[in-house]
Amino acid sequence: MDHETTRAQNLRWAAVSLVGVTLGYAAVLLANIRHFYTDDSELQYVPLWVHVGKMLREGTFPTIVPEEWQAGNYLVEGQSSIFNPPQFLINLLAPSFSNLLLLATLAKLLYSLILALGVFRVCLNYGARPQWAAVAAVAFPFSGWMLFFDQATWVLGLAGTAWLTHAWASGVRYARGHSGPIPVFTFLFFAIGCGYIWPGIESALMIASVVVGEWIYQRHWKGSAKLAAVATSAALVCVIIYIAGVMTAPVTLRRSHTIINDGQMTIPWSESLNASLPTTHPTFSSWFGIIFPLPVVYIAWFLIPALAFIDWKRAREGARELCGIAIFAGLALTWTAGPAAIGVLRWPVRVLPMLALGALILVCTLLSRYGTLAAWRTRASVAGGLIVFLFIRSIASAPRDWLLHTGSVAVVVALGLVALWLARTRGTAAACLVLILSVAPIAGFQVSQANPHPLAFGVPANRTELAAQFPHFTGTTLQLSQVPRVPGVNADALHHKGRGIDPAYFQSLTLGNVPMTLDQTYANGYTPVGYAAMAFHLCMKWDGTTCPEAYRWAFTVEPSTGKTLVDLMKIDRVVLHKLQYPNVDTTPAPAGWHWAKYPGHEAFIAVLERNDGLISTRNGRISDTQGVTAQSTGETDDTSSVRVSSASGGRIVFARLDWPGYHITLNGKVVPHTALLDQFITVNIPAGTKNADLEVSYEFPGWKIGAVSAAVGLFGLAILQMLHIRSRRRPEPADPVIVPVERELEETLV
């Protein structure tokens, strides 16, 4: 096959991959229009995109926003992805969307298309023909955990995995001398730099697997060493993204350094044997009890039966070349079984997409290179036996679904027979096309069976309409509420026909980062990190909800200041959810507060407002003084400038959390500070101070280390690129096995 024919064939099947993924999205949306706007996507990520985008458009680089309290330290949170160029672009575009469901769906479709092309490239680089590469490319985005979690809710898992696959493909090419280090570096930076730790760790596993695999394949260390070096350069540049979180960990809720295995969200290896039955419901300890209600271990209906059609004797010829894929899949399988938590890394079930990725690439590549229809009747019988095994294993996990599993087996058998007949009569391409076309209806069926998604909240998608219905709250608001989670919660006042939360609820109260879409300032927010002391004093959870005691604690007087917690926070308004505090507005309001009326919203909320109006804008962020005269002279999110005087000495308390990274100077000299209640920045002012300039400023901790690390990483990349340019002047080394399609793909797709 000549160069032009190969190139055209690659492009044709790459286009088929993109169409297959798009059809899969259409099928999923027909089953559940909100599937891609679920759980953390509706509470955390998409509202955050809008908020960060607004700040960027205003010329503000997000660092820290004190009034957002728990979720206001953006450099520590990381998941705003402000250092990640592709996500940075999505953030910039996000404020232009009123319909956040549309924004979420389009962004995830874009990432899924990128992901499909990445899988396609990996398969080609291991010698798969483009039709089989397309099969893996379309199937992977709709594998179990990827479909129901990384696509539906945890979008940065999807984004990071998309760039990981391209880093994998470019890594193989670089190790084999077919391309340079810059593509590997760029894709690794995108994967690690999205701010979500899991793709970073998984990228490290992938690189380690490819490094070892290429050393075994090439029988020398040069290619592996080059790949390890460029990966190290990318990791060094990404230090600046994560170092603030590491250095801030001691004050956060994610400060655990222990390794535990309580079985929570760990997957026994035997559950992965259900990977080809679309209705499988695995058994493991989870949020939902023992039987997980979603087919998260599903990979592809053809994956396990297709093993019968591989010529395993011939496949030994390519064992060395393909061992990197097997190592990666093996590491992923090992991790899924535990431990349940390694420091901040918890729930190893999240690694299931890596197992699916490795398995699909390996099996589709083997089928492409060593597939056979010799003795097809015997092989079909073996495939049937494997399907029976899947059936038995799935019934063992969830006996109550035996009828559903029976129908699923019938579908798998029928599809298998059609694919086998086409392979024998029409050729491999026709069979592959059937496999690709089967992905969409199966994904649609699976989503329809789980509609609504068991973690869905049903936040109204149109932020313009929601804002118009929402009370107009000025200043800074603290919300005290606890929202029952779906499923299995008996709360008819909230749940609307069993399909999520009554939309009327969201016309008065918010969850997570939803206030960011309303242009309102809430002390509540969604945080994967959290400030431990504040979480303790308000018993505030990651999604901004609170326990019933939060009302009493918020108005408890702190003895040394004589002020309540809401005074020290400079809160203007407290909104109480009536499901948690019934008839609370019939009780006397705390001193200095009154019950405000918001017609049309009283069924859901009671609102406390101050008698003397807003205080959040008075005298900067100074919340208390003792023995000090203090006047704010300037405020930004990062700094508080104050003119202070004190004859006999005293102190100032600021409405700022004492995140690591704050520095205080008095007339230019650094002074120490403490933390009232372990959370509020407190500065002691010496006696005899008169009209001195006090400045509280924040810079994210470790930035100098991160900058130096990034410089070293970029320098290392420059050296590797120069070595690559020099090597290109010499003839390329021959590759004894791989088919000559990788270079054409890089030229046309990258």
Q: Tell me the C-alpha distance between 712 and 647, whole Å.
A: 51
Helix ranges (DSSP H) in 529-589: 532-537, 550-554, 565-568
What residue has token string 């699909």?
A: 360
Question: Which burial class, exposed, middle or buried, applies to 404 when counting CB atoms under 10 A from its CB (0-12, 13-18, 19+)?
Answer: middle
Q: What is the pLDDT of residue 497?
A: 35
Q: What is the pLDDT of residue 731?
A: 58
Helices (H) and strands (E) in the chain, counts: 24, 21
Residue extents of the structural domains in the chain: 472-610, 622-698
Q: Tell me the C-alpha distance between 110 and 105, whole Å.
A: 9
Q: What is the pLDDT of residue 362?
A: 98
Distances, alpha carbon 545 to alpha carbons 43, 477, 514, in Å: 12, 13, 13
Q: Tell me the C-alpha distance between 210 and 227, whole Å.
A: 8
Q: What is the pLDDT of residue 493?
A: 36
Cis status of the peptide bond prior to 599, with omega within 30 of 0: no
Our CA dihedral for 99, 453, 511, 289, rounded to 10 degrees, sits at: -170
Q: Tell me the C-alpha distance between 620 and 623, whole Å.
A: 8
Beta bridge partners of 702: none
Angle at CA of residue 84, ends 163 and 235, nearest 5°: 70
Long-range CB pairs of 222-225 (<8 Å, 24+ gap) are 223/174, 223/175, 223/176, 223/177, 224/175
Angle at CA of residue 129, ends 127 and 135, nearest 5°: 115
- HSE, side-chain direction, 13 A CA sphere, residue 130: 19
Residue 436: name the closest of 9, 3, 18, 4 by CA.
Answer: 18
Question: Which burial class, exposed, middle or buried, applies to 378 when counting CB atoms under 10 A from its CB (0-12, 13-18, 19+)?
Answer: exposed
Q: What is the pLDDT of residue 216?
A: 96
Give pLDDT tens digits for 301-342.
999 999 999 999 999 989 999 999 999 999 999 999 988 888
Q: Is the CB of residue 307 less than 8 Å from the CB of residue 422? A: no
Q: Is the CB of residue 245 less than 8 Å from the CB of residue 196? A: no
DSSP, res 530: -
Q: Tell me the C-alpha distance between 72 and 65, whole Å.
A: 5
DSSP, res 546: B
pLDDT band at 346 (very low <50, low <70, confident <90, very high): confident
Q: Please indicate whether residue 211 or residue 391 has the higher confidence score (pLDDT).
A: 211
* Strand 593-596 to 605-610 pairing: antiparallel
Q: What is the pLDDT of residue 485?
A: 41
Region 402-427 average pLDDT: 94
Q: What is the pLDDT of residue 341?
A: 86
Give pLDDT tens digits for 363-406.
999 999 999 999 999 999 999 999 999 999 888 888 888 899 99
**Lowest-confidence region among 178-192, 253-267, 717-731:** 253-267
Q: What is the pLDDT of residue 624?
A: 97
* Strand 283-286 to 289-291 pairing: antiparallel
Angle at CA of residue 328, ends 323 and 334, nearest 5°: 120
Q: Tell me the C-alpha distance between 735 and 131, whole Å.
A: 22
pLDDT band at 730 (very low <50, low <70, confident <90, very high): low
Distances, alpha carbon 620 to alpha carbons 337, 477, 631, in Å: 52, 17, 8
Q: Which residues of 548-585 are buried (b: 16+ CB within 10 A; e: fewer)?
A: eebbebbbeebeebebbbbbbbbbbbbbbbbbbbeebb
DSSP, res 734: P
Q: What are phi and psi of 364, to 5 degrees?
A: -65, -35
Q: Tell me the C-alpha distance between 681 and 697, whole Å.
A: 11
Q: Is the CB of residue 82 less than 8 Å from the CB of residue 92? A: no
Q: Is the CB of residue 303 less than 8 Å from the CB of residue 363? A: yes
Give pLDDT tens digits for 227-280.
999 999 999 999 999 999 889 989 998 766 678 888 889 998 888 888 999 999
**Residue-averaged pLDDT of the chain:** 91
Q: What is the CATH number of domain 622-698?
A: 2.60.40
**Lowest-confidence region among 232-246, 451-465, 612-626:** 451-465
pLDDT band at 457 (very low <50, low <70, confident <90, very high): confident
Q: Which residue type does 188 have?
A: L
Q: Tell me the C-alpha distance between 416 and 413, whole Å.
A: 5
Q: Is the CB of residue 275 less than 8 Å from the CB of residue 393? A: no
Region 586-600 average pLDDT: 95
Give pLDDT tens digits for 528-548.
889 999 999 999 998 999 999
Q: Is the CB of residue 579 less than 8 Å from the CB of residue 494? A: yes
**Lowest-confidence region among 531-535, 552-556, 641-645, 739-743:** 739-743
Q: Tell me the C-alpha distance between 125 and 691, whole Å.
A: 69
Angle at CA of residue 23, ends 20 and 26, nearest 5°: 155
Q: What is the pLDDT of residue 31?
A: 97
Give pLDDT tens digits for 27-46.
999 999 999 999 999 999 99
Neighbours of 372 (CB within 10 A): 14
Distance of CA 686 to the CA centre of its chain: 47
Q: Is the CB of residue 232 less than 8 Å from the CB of residue 208? A: no
Angle at CA of residue 46, ends 659 and 488, nearest 5°: 95
Q: Tell me the C-alpha distance between 516 and 49, whole Å.
A: 9
What residue has token string 């749940």?
A: 495
pTM of the model: 0.93
If phi > 0 it is left, if psi is from -120 to 50 it is alpha, else beta; for residue 291 that is beta
Q: What are phi and psi of 291, to 5 degrees?
A: -95, 115
What residue has token string 């509202």?
A: 47
Q: Tell me the C-alpha distance between 677 and 137, whole Å.
A: 53
Q: What is the pLDDT of residue 1?
A: 54
Q: Is the CB of residue 299 less than 8 Å from the CB of residue 289? A: no
Distances, alpha carbon 705 to alpha carbons 43, 73, 244, 712, in Å: 33, 19, 10, 11
Q: Is the CB of residue 159 less than 8 Å from the CB of residue 194? A: yes
Give pLDDT tens digits for 656-707.
999 999 999 999 999 999 999 999 999 999 999 999 999 999 998 999 999 9
What residue has token string 């063992």?
A: 396
Q: What is the pLDDT of residue 74?
A: 92
Q: What are phi and psi of 374, to 5 degrees?
A: -60, 140
Q: Is the CB of residue 35 less than 8 Å from the CB of residue 447? A: yes
DSSP, res 451: P
